[in-house]
Chain A
Amino acid sequence: MSTLKIDNLYVSVEDKLILKGINLVVNTGEVHALMGPNGNGKSTLLSAIMGHPKYRIEKGSIFLDNIDILALSVDERSKAGLFLGMQYPTEVSGVTNADFLRAALNSHLEKPISLFKFIKQLDKEVEKLKMKPDLAHRYLNEGFSGGEKKRNEMLHMNLLKPKFALLDEIDSGLDVDALQIVSDTINEMRSEHFGAIIVSHYERLFDLVKPTHVHILVDGKIVKSGNQELVTKIDTEGYEWIKEELDIDIINESI
């Protein structure tokens, strides 16, 4: 079993403090749902764990077992077993998805995978995700639809087999069929060797991927933790009740 332990984490962006003391322990075998109104720090938390240079760590620590994650570069974090499935995967022109994936996969392996073996594995995963076969050979995310990008993130996760996946609104912009495929992919990954933190606004995802833990993040802090019932309550009642229950102000940038 592995453990991802976030301790008293403070993170700022362009001198604005976003995360104000996050404490979170995720073990492999667990799936943590992270919910909360927009603009309260959910994406910031995931990006900061992965090491995005825009986010400055002011205080606190992140450990993957006994590895000090904050001391590692982004690629070292990936090699240590972290994976960030992005909300808006970036496009890279001229680099094919397959070439990039092979380089990424090789960076995780001691001995490079043979081209033949790689293509076989890739084709299998592409089929499982019901992706168009040519997506593997098109330029990375270029001209992909929103849904194709998300499925492509799942493809990357599947091949890289992280210990902990950080999935940022992986369900946004997906139709019912695609949502099912993405959920199946995550569920298939679930084991005692895999844990996840999943950010989403929607109950429909957490109906398909049942979280073991649910947290609500407001104004840079986890203000409430619970189980799946919390998801249902948010889906029906929104976040207003938390404000009253905890007597806090909620920033909601989407309003």
Chain B
Amino acid sequence: MNNEIPVNEEYEYGFYDKDVDVYKTAKGINEDVIKEISKQKNEPEWMLAFRLKAYQHFINTKMPEWGADLSSLNFDDFTYFIKSTKKQTSNWDNVDTTIKDTFNKLGLLDAEKEHLGGISTQYESEVVYHNMLKEVIEKGVIFLDTDSALREYPELFKKYFNTVVPYTDNKFAALNGAVWSGGSFIYVPKNVTLDKPLQSYFRINSEEMGQFERTLIIVDEGADVHYVEGCTAPVHAKDSLHAAVVEIIILKGGKCRYSTVQNWSNNIINLVTKRALVKEHASMEWIDGNIGSNITMKYPACLLAGEYAKGTTISIAVASHNMYLDAGSKMIHLAPHTSSNIVSKSIARHGGKVNYRGLVSINNKALNSKAKVECDTLLLDDISTSDTIPNNIVKNNKSYIEHEATVSKVSEEQLFYLQSRGLTIEQATEMIIMGFIEPFTRELPMEYAVELNQLIKMEMEGSIG
């Protein structure tokens, strides 16, 4: 699908490490590979059975027929499990130097010291480093990689696993069910509020590798957590696949904010299912930034299942040459007095394709509910394209959905105005773009907003002329 080297030579995180793996499965996927993964992880029986069931569903399910063209995706090309370390550690000195250097270059070691309540870093298939602040542990918060959580908290795990995104949901959720590895498991006890965010970082190093992390977050009644994830990969000639599943359960009055800055290199196919079950008076916020990848299909969703549940998605997508981003959000209103808000900002340049695809559904029981969707697209040239595909359904007459959509270009008048005060055309364009995505950046913690601004500026260099 993508045989040429991506043209974005400014991708800062495109370096790759020599192979450091200690074990990997043979290329391709079959029942033996799945059994081998399960054996490597020393899992309980039920998980192997689950994986095999999910695999059956995967092979019996058709590829999605909408969004990006995935017809040339050959599942036999990928390696599904690569283990890079024998043992996870909470001391960077025990991490393989190559891997440690990589995460250091990505700024993770500094971020951990300054801003985070806990951090988990996944390299290929498994988490290699994991640590959290003492005060976070003392509050009874569980923050583990998902493999460890299955071993250490089997009951809690089993109670919620596969309940929000069942493997039957779609082909890639099934694939994840079959070969999942790594990811984050978080449990925040009743009424516990965390001041600093918890972060995970996902790094793919090899080419033709598949990363299938599985994240499960449980926010108990009245608790509040902010989780941040970042992801990068090297620039390779051949594609790698990232198919994650994220399940979030927020109990009565709880609050969860999930911030992502996806900055994959342009050879990653990124097909992710993210969904939150939001109970009464609880609130879920997806802050979702998509800057990289070759293909992304991702629609963070909220199931607003309790009265007064609230769902928010604020997203940006920046598509450049050789990129197809099909992103949006889903808000499913299932209970009365629920509310949702989607703000989507898309930018396309250099022939990139960026779509907003969304679903807002207010069912017959969700009386007195309201939803608002605002999607704006900015096209930076004439060869880039965009479609807005909203799907709004209201099944009772006491609720309403507001929908606004705009597609614009950076206007000549705006550029002239800014230039007439001394800004170069590049500075003026950059300022207009930064202003366009400001509703997104203002929701990010300061240090991420700064990083994101830098990324976008890099991505925008040479956009003009």
Contacts and interface: CB of A to CB of B under 8 A. Distances in A.
B421 A156 contact: yes
A78 B435 contact: no
Contact of B420 (A78, A93, A140): A78
B192 to A, nearest CB: 35
Given A94-B435, A94-B437, A107 B423 contact: yes
Nearest to B436: A94
Most chain A beta carbons < 10 A, residue from B417, B420, B434:
B420
Interface in B408-445: 411-414, 416-425, 427-428, 431-432, 434-439
Contacts of A77: 420
Interface in A35-88: 50-54, 73-75, 77-79, 83-84, 86
Interface string A132-148: 00000001100000000
B318 to A, nearest CB: 15
A95 interface: yes
A202 interface: no
A108 interface: yes
A78 B421 CA distance: 6
Contact of B421 (A54, A93, A94, A100): A100
Contact of A104 (B422, B435, B437): B422
Interface residues on A, range: 20 to 34
B442 to A, nearest CB: 9
Given A54-B412, A86-B417, A90-B411, A78 B434 contact: no
A90 B423 contact: no
Interface residues on B, range: 20 to 34
A104 B421 contact: yes
B419 A139 contact: no
A79 B424 CA distance: 10
Contact of A90 (B417, B427, B436, B438): B417
Most chain B beta carbons < 10 A, residue from A74, A108, A140:
A74
Interface string B295-329: 00000000000000000000000000000000000
Contacts of A160: 421-422
Contacts of A52: 416
A93 B440 CA distance: 13
A89 interface: yes
A75 B432 contact: no
A89 B432 CA distance: 15
A95 to B, nearest CB: 4
Given A90-B411, A90-B413, A94-B438, A74 B420 contact: yes
Contacts of A156: 421
B416 A92 contact: no
A103 interface: yes
A139 B435 contact: yes
A77 B414 CA distance: 17
Contacts of B435: 92-95, 139-140
Contacts of A74: 416, 419-420, 425
Given A74-B419, A74-B420, A92 B425 contact: no
A89 B420 CA distance: 11
A84 B413 CA distance: 13
B427 A103 contact: yes
Contact of A107 (B412, B422, B436): B422
B431 A95 contact: yes
Contacts of B439: 94
B237 to A, nearest CB: 37
Interface in A94-129: 94-95, 100-101, 103-105, 107-108
Contacts of B422: 75, 78-79, 104-105, 107-108, 160
Contacts of B419: 51, 73-75, 78
A70 B399 CA distance: 59
Interface in B373-391: none
Contacts of B412: 53-54
A75 B425 contact: yes
A140 B434 CA distance: 13
A140 to B, nearest CB: 8
A92 B432 contact: yes
A100 B436 contact: no
Contacts of B436: 93-94
Contacts of B434: 94-95
A39 B418 CA distance: 25
B420 A92 contact: no
Nearest to A78: B422
Given A90-B411, A94-B437, A94-B439, A103 B417 contact: no
A86 B418 CA distance: 12
A90 B414 contact: yes
A75 to B, nearest CB: 5
A92 B438 CA distance: 11
A92 B431 contact: yes
Contacts of A107: 421-424, 427
A75 B424 contact: yes
Given A100-B431, A103-B431, A139-B435, A92 B423 contact: no
Given A75-B422, A89-B417, 11 more contacts: A73-B424, A77-B420, A86-B417, A90-B413, A92-B414, A92-B431, A92-B432, A93-B438, A94-B435, A103-B423, A107-B427
Interface of A: 50-54, 73-75, 77-79, 83-84, 86, 89-90, 92-95, 100-101, 103-105, 107-108, 139-140, 156, 160
26 contacts: A51-B419, A51-B420, A54-B412, A73-B424, A74-B419, A74-B420, A75-B420, A75-B422, A75-B427, A77-B420, A78-B421, A86-B417, A86-B420, A90-B411, A90-B416, A93-B436, A94-B436, A101-B421, A103-B431, A104-B418, A104-B421, A107-B423, A108-B422, A139-B435, A140-B435, A160-B421
Give the 5 A-B CB pairs with smallest separation, nearest first.
A94-B435, A94-B438, A107-B422, A74-B419, A104-B421
